[in-house]
């Protein structure tokens, strides 16, 4: 069995077993173990890569996403063990829903991993839809009116997005058929990318519009973002960490695959300006919306929209430096935002609320959580010398070098978001504590493991990692 089989079958088998296990402690431990084994399988791809076939393949681009996906999936499962235990104690989840939660968690990881490994464009679409449907079920797991409404909103908007992506995928097949012929090969990415220069550019152009709108809905780019804040606010916090840290990246990965196809056809449109426009729109819109949030999880949901905008902007600009910056920013955002949600999840549990106005003085009442949140917000706001500062600096400097006028709205959006985050942080972290002062049972290891990596990355990036990212940046065009 090669590494790809482990990445796919471990979560699938674990989901079947977890659906039958009644006990919380055993099921949470198995969930962590399965996630760890999936991570080890993903890391083994650095040692040996299997040969591509018509359905699965591994290259430098999807290894970036697979390693990040598996790592955050593992650390989130560790965080989830203590978080869900509290939800069970207070009666928000029943034992039956608990089995459902752990099983769907592994199905969600299977769907995302399959999307990243897929060599077939249709299979990738199916996998993204599977990952989406599993997260929709998780968002509504509390069965409150608000949670069900958020899940339905996510389902309806996600269905529209995935339908647009399906139509775009069909158009790519129609463009490939005259050159490659009918059948499976016309959907195999490794075949299509070699022969895309001969495709009808008009069909490719229309296809990309549908694809970026369809998958862009899953990325959370404005104005296609409406499902994201509700899903974060009403679902379990581990799912917020997975949404921001993983699922948005998987949808972005699909967009990047089709961007590579268009770049290889000299007569097709340049996808860059469309990505730049959607990225800037998302950044500036979300930056202003941060000032109006009253719910702590909604606030960080809009922060995710802001940062996905920066990432889409970087990849839209293209070129070695901007693509490198986009990859680095995507990695740093996933690690930082999931760490923030780890802190926020336990904060909401101990305070009994997600309302920002009712949470004060965390550094005094719960110092570890409070200072963890402070470090996370300082990182996500782009303060030096942390990793997101480095990636944002590279995005801004590469834009100034090539398109100085575009750098102005980019910097403006970043500064507006910076102000909003620190305005909220001052009340949350400092001042006279409010609400419950009871100690919280939490695992702080996942949060500080992520934040440590972000701190190190701002100061030092290992040369092999830099070389790897540079190679992937060149592949992205």
Please give the average pLDDT of every successive group of 10 residues along the chain, which has 477 residues.
85 90 81 93 88 87 89 92 79 77 91 93 92 89 87 90 92 91 87 88 92 89 85 86 84 91 87 92 93 87 92 91 92 92 88 83 84 91 89 93 91 93 84 70 84 91 89 85
CA distance 477 to 92: 48
Q: Is 230 helix (H, G, I), strand (E, B) or coil?
A: helix
Within a domain: 449 = yes
Q: Is 42 helix (H, G, I), strand (E, B) or coil?
A: helix
73, 74, 94, 100, 189 from 7: Cα distances, Å: 12, 12, 30, 21, 20
Within a domain: 166 = no
Lookup: tokens for 383 = 């303060």
Within a domain: 288 = yes
pLDDT averaged over the chain? 88
pLDDT tens-place string over residues 175-225:
999 988 888 888 999 899 899 888 888 999 999 999 999 998 888 888 888
User: Domain range holding 298?
Assistant: 270-477
Of 411, 336, 334, 413, residue with least CA distance to 374: 336
Lookup: tokens for 164 = 């647009």
Total domains present in the chain: 1
Within a domain: 293 = yes
| Beta-carbon count within 10 A of 182 CB | 10
Does this model's pTM top 0.85? yes
CA distance 232 to 300: 8
CA distance 369 to 2: 40
Within a domain: 263 = no
Of 187, 267, 275, 178, residue with least CA distance to 476: 275
What are the helix (H) ranges across 293-356?
A: 296-317, 320-351
User: What letter does residue 432 receive in the DSSP assignment?
Assistant: S
Q: Taking a C-beta distance cutoff of 8 angstroms, is the pair 470, 394 a contact?
A: no
170, 213, 217, 277, 471 from 165: Cα distances, Å: 9, 7, 10, 19, 28
Beta-carbon contacts of residue 370 (< 8 Å; ≥ 6 apart): 361, 362, 363, 364, 429
CA distance 344 to 370: 9
Of 312, 306, 225, 224, residue with least CA distance to 273: 312
Lookup: tokens for 118 = 């897929």
Within a domain: 280 = yes
CA distance 164 to 178: 23
Tell me the backbone φ, ψ of residue 160, rounded to 5 degrees: -60, -45
pLDDT at 1: 56
pLDDT at 310: 94
Within a domain: 412 = yes
Within a domain: 91 = no
CA distance 133 to 114: 14
């Amino acid at each position: 069995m090669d590494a790809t089989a482990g990445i796919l079958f471990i979560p699938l088998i674990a989901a079947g077993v977890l659906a039958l296990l009644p006990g919380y402690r055993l099921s949470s431990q198995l969930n962590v173990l399965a996630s760890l084994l999936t991570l080890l399988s993903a890391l083994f791809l650095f040692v040996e890569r299997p040969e591509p076939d018509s359905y699965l393949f591994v290259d430098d681009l999807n290894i970036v996403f697979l390693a990040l996906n598996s790592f955050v999936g593992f650390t989130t499962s560790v965080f989830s063990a203590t978080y869900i235990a509290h939800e069970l104690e207070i009666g928000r989840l029943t034992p039956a829903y608990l089995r459902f939660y752990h099983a769907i968690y592994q199905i969600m990881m299977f769907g995302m991993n399959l999307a990243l490994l897929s060599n077939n464009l249709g299979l990738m679409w199916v996998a993204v839809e599977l990952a989406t449907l599993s997260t929709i079920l998780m968002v509504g797991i509390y069965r409150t009116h608000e949670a069900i409404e958020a899940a339905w909103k996510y389902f309806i908007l996600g269905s529209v997005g995935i339908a647009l992506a399906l139509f775009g995928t069909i158009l790519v097949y129609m463009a490939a058929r005259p050159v490659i012929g009918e059948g499976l090969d016309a959907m195999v990415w490794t075949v299509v990318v070699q022969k895309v220069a001969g495709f009808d550019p008009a069909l490719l152009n229309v296809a990309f519009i549908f694809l970026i709108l369809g998958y862009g809905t899953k990325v959370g780019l404005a104005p296609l973002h409406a499902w994201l804040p509700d899903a974060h606010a009403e679902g379990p916090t581990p799912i917020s960490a997975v949404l921001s840290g993983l699922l948005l990246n998987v949808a972005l990965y699909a967009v990047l695959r089709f961007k590579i196809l268009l770049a290889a056809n000299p007569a097709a449109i340049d996808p860059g300006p469309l990505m730049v426009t959607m990225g800037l729109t998302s950044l500036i819109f979300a930056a202003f919306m941060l000032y109006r949030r009253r719910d702590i999880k909604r606030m960080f949901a809009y922060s995710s929209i802001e940062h996905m905008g920066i990432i889409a902007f970087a990849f839209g600009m293209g070129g070695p430096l901007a693509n490198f910056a986009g990859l680095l920013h995507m990695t740093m955002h996933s690690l930082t935002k999931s760490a923030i949600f780890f802190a926020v999840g336990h904060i909401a549990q101990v305070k009994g609320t997600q309302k920002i106005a009712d949470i004060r003085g965390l550094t005094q009442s719960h110092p570890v959580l409070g200072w963890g949140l402070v470090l996370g917000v300082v990182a996500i706001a782009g303060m030096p010398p942390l990793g997101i500062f480095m990636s944002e600096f590279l995005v801004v400097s590469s834009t100034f070098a090539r398109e100085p006028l575009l750098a102005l709205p980019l910097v403006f959006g970043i500064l507006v978001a910076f102000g909003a985050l620190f305005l909220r942080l001052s009340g949350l972290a400092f001042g006279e504590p409010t609400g419950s002062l009871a100690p919280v049972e939490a695992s702080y290891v996942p949060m500080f493991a992520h934040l440590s990596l972000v701190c190190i990355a701002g100061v030092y990036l290992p040369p092999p990692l830099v070389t790897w990212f540079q190679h992937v940046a060149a592949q992205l065009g």
